[in-house]
Amino acid sequence: MSKKLTHLDDCGRPQMVDVGAKPMTERMARAEAWVRTTAEAIDAIRNSQVKKGDVLRIAELAGIQGAKRTADLIPLCHPLPIDSVTVTTEIHGETIRIEATVSAYWKTGVEMEALAAVNAAALTVYDMTKSIDKGIVIETVRLLEKRGGRSGDWLVSGS
């Protein structure tokens, strides 16, 4: 695989990569984020006592929207036809684990869409519970897996 920075032209100016000649293939990416908060905030989420609504369901919707709007957020990211987005949230002690899976049949991967999804969901958890806990921490945002494309499949170590 080339180490050349494809988003820069020969003069160092940013450019959107030309994917016109690339073949269309099945693409999939999974990402995760963790949101650490207090026991009080977790109890409020679990017991539907957050005034803004059902935190986990709204965060999942925000994640889906985040995946769909990735090209609007990241300047050199291609808008692409997403086939599916799944976002799940789970409470683990005083943390919330968010996972997103994005798939598309297209010329470029969906890693950024999966990462945008978990970030949008995590920010939504933050926004909806910040009145309970000002010290919320969004952490361990990472790609877990990708499939398809010229660079092939990749899986994070330990998964």
Q: Torsions phi, psi of 143, nearest 5?
A: -80, 135
β-bridge partners, 114? none
**Whether the Cβ atoms of residue 147 and residue 30 lie closer than 8 Å to each other:** no
Largest CA distance in the chain: 56
How far apart, in whole angstroms, are the C-alpha atoms of residue 139 and residue 96? 10
Please indicate whether residue 9 is annotated as part of the active site: no
Cα-based distances in Å from 57 to 96, 97, 156? 12, 13, 27
β-pairing verdict for 95-106 and 154-155? unpaired
* Residue from 54, 83, 127, 133 carrying the catalytic annotation: 127
Q: Which helix (H) or strand (E) holds 58?
A: helix 55-68
Q: Which residues are catalytic?
A: 127
